Amino acid sequence: MPVIKIDDEGRILLPQEILERLCLKPGDQVQVDAHGLTVVLSRVRPAENSIALTDSRSVINRKNLETAVRFIKGVGPKMAAALAKKGIHTVEDALYLLPYRYEDRRQLRSLDRLRPGQLEVFCAQVMSAETRISRGGRRVFEAVVGDGRGAVLLKWFNFSPRHMAGTWRAGRKGIFSGEVVCYGHDREIHHPEVDWLADGADPASFMADDPVNFGRTIPVYPLTEGLRQKSLRKVQKEIVDTFSESVETAIPGEMLERLSLIPVAAALREVHFPGNDTAVDLLERRATCAHRTLAFDEFFFLQLGLALKKRGVSIEQGIPFQVTHKYTRQLVKSLPFALTAAQKRVLAEIKEDLAAPHPMHRLVQGDVGSGKTVVAILTALLAVENDCQVVIMAPTEILAEQHFLAVRRYCAQLGIAACLLTSRVKGKERSRLLEDVACGNVSVIVGTHSVIQEKVEFKRLGLGIIDEQHRFGVLQRGILRKKGQNPHIMVMTATPIPRTLAMTVFGDLSLSVIDELPPGRSPVATRICPESQRHRVYRLIREEVRAGRQAYVIYPLVEESEKSDLKAATLMAGHLAGDVFPELRVGLLHGKMKPEEKEAVMGAYKDRGIDILVATTVIEVGIDVPNATVMVIEHAERFGLSQLHQLRGRVGRGTASSHCILLSGDDLSGDAARRLKVLEQTNDGFRIAEADLELRGPGDFLGTRQAGLPEFRVADILRDGPIMEEARQEAFALVERDPHLSSLDNGRLRQELVRRWGGRLELAGC
- Is 372 part of a structural domain of the chain? yes
Q: Are residues 399 and 485 located together in one domain of the fold? A: yes
Considering only CA atoms, which of 472, 562, 553 is closest in space to residue 509? 472
Q: Coil, strand or helix: which one is 385?
A: helix
| % the chain with pLDDT above 70 | 86
Encode 665-690: b = buried (16+ Cβ within 10 Å), e = exposed. eeebeeebeebbebbeeebebbbbbb
- pLDDT mean over 662-687: 84
- Is 702 part of a structural domain of the chain? no
Mark which of 209, 238, 258 sits at the end of a domain. Answer: 258
Please report the DSSP string for 16-65 in residue order.
HHHHHHTT--TT-EEEEEEETTEEEEEEE---HHHHHHHHHHHHHHHHHH
- Is 395 part of a structural domain of the chain? yes
Say what the pLDDT of residue 704 is. 42
Q: Domain of 225: which CATH number?
A: 2.40.50.140
Q: Per mean pLDDT, which range of 214-228, 443-457, 484-498, 735-749 is the poorest?
A: 484-498
| % the chain with pLDDT above 90 | 47
Say what the pLDDT of residue 606 is. 87
Say what the pLDDT of residue 700 is. 62
Mark which of 485, 514, 543 sits at the end of a domain. Answer: 514
Q: Per mean pLDDT, which range of 3-7, 237-241, 363-367, 674-678 is the poorest?
A: 3-7
- Is 675 part of a structural domain of the chain? yes
pLDDT band at 560 (very low <50, low <70, confident <90, very high): very low
pLDDT band at 29 (very low <50, low <70, confident <90, very high): low
Q: Per mean pLDDT, which range of 541-550, 577-586, 600-609, 756-765 is the poorest?
A: 756-765
Q: Per mean pLDDT, which range of 126-135, 448-457, 651-660 is the poorest?
A: 448-457
Query: How many alpha carbons fall within 13 Å on the CB side of residue 383?
Result: 31
- pLDDT mean over 675-697: 82
Q: Per mean pLDDT, which range of 16-20, 84-88, 253-257, 527-531 is the poorest?
A: 16-20
Q: Which residues contact 325 (CB under 8 A, 6 or more apart)?
A: 385
pLDDT band at 719 (very low <50, low <70, confident <90, very high): confident
Judge whether 367 and 497 are in contact, CB under 8 Å.
no
Residue 706 pLDDT > 50:
no
- pLDDT mean over 60-84: 93
Better pLDDT: 194 or 559: 194
- Is 134 part of a structural domain of the chain? yes
Say how far apart CA 692 and CA 711 lie, in whole Å: 19
DSSP assignment letter at 238:
H
Say how far apart CA 494 and CA 471 lie, in whole Å: 12
**Burial of 291: CB neighbours in 10 Å, binned 0-12, 13-18, 19+:** buried
Q: Are residues 171 and 34 located together in one domain of the fold? A: no
Residue 200 pLDDT > 90:
no
Say how far apart CA 253 and CA 168 lie, in whole Å: 55
pLDDT band at 558 (very low <50, low <70, confident <90, very high): very low
Mark which of 479, 514, 549 sits at the end of a domain. Answer: 514
Residue 51 pLDDT > 60:
no
Q: Are residues 439 and 371 located together in one domain of the fold? A: yes
Name the strand (E) or helix (H) holding 180: strand 173-183
Q: Are residues 321 and 361 located together in one domain of the fold? A: yes
Q: Are residues 425 and 497 located together in one domain of the fold? A: yes
Better pLDDT: 655 or 13: 655
Say what the pLDDT of residue 31 is. 61
Residue 703 pLDDT > 80:
no
Domain extent at residue 636: 524-682
Say what the pLDDT of residue 534 is. 92
Q: Domain of 24: which CATH number?
A: 2.10.260
Query: How many alpha carbons fall within 13 Å on the CB side of residue 69?
Result: 30
Say what the pLDDT of residue 321 is. 94
Better pLDDT: 21 or 578: 578
Better pLDDT: 682 or 32: 682
- pLDDT mean over 36-56: 55
Whether the pTM exceeds 0.85: the reply is no
Considering the chain, what is the average pLDDT of its residues? 85
Q: Are residues 498 and 573 located together in one domain of the fold? A: no
- Is 643 part of a structural domain of the chain? yes
Beta strands at 444-447 and 389-393: parallel, antiparallel or unpaired: parallel
Say what the pLDDT of residue 764 is. 44
| One-letter identity of residue 740 | H
Residue 763 pLDDT > 90:
no
Instruction: Summarize pLDDT for 425-465 with one digit per residue, the tens.
Output: 888 999 999 999 999 999 999 998 888 887 889 999 999 99
Say what the pLDDT of residue 303 is. 92
- Is 94 part of a structural domain of the chain? no
- pLDDT mean over 295-305: 94
Say how far apart CA 490 and CA 366 lie, in whole Å: 13
Better pLDDT: 477 or 373: 373
Q: Are residues 492 and 579 located together in one domain of the fold? A: no
- pLDDT mean over 311-326: 84
- pLDDT mean over 457-485: 78
Say what the pLDDT of residue 240 is. 96
Q: Are residues 535 and 645 located together in one domain of the fold? A: yes
Q: Are residues 508 and 560 located together in one domain of the fold? A: no
Say what the pLDDT of residue 694 is. 77
Q: Are residues 325 and 471 located together in one domain of the fold? A: yes
- Is 93 part of a structural domain of the chain? no
Say how far apart CA 668 and CA 677 lie, in whole Å: 12
Judge whether 561 and 397 are in contact, CB under 8 Å.
no
Residue 507 pLDDT > 90:
no
Tally of domains in the chain: 4
Residue 493 pLDDT > 50:
yes
Say what the pLDDT of residue 699 is. 60
Better pLDDT: 743 or 559: 743
Instruction: Summarize pLDDT for 326-384 with one digit per residue, the tens.
Output: 999 999 998 888 899 999 999 999 999 999 988 998 889 887 778 888 999 999 999 99
Q: Per mean pLDDT, which range of 186-195, 226-235, 454-463, 636-645 is the poorest?
A: 636-645
Q: Are residues 143 and 170 located together in one domain of the fold? A: yes
Say how far apart CA 537 and CA 542 lie, in whole Å: 9
Q: Are residues 439 and 551 located together in one domain of the fold? A: no
Considering only CA atoms, which of 366, 391, 365, 397 is closest in space to residue 379? 391
Judge whether 332 and 378 are in contact, CB under 8 Å.
yes
- pLDDT mean over 760-766: 57
Residue 265 pLDDT > 90:
yes
Q: Domain of 591: which CATH number?
A: 3.40.50.300
Better pLDDT: 411 or 670: 411
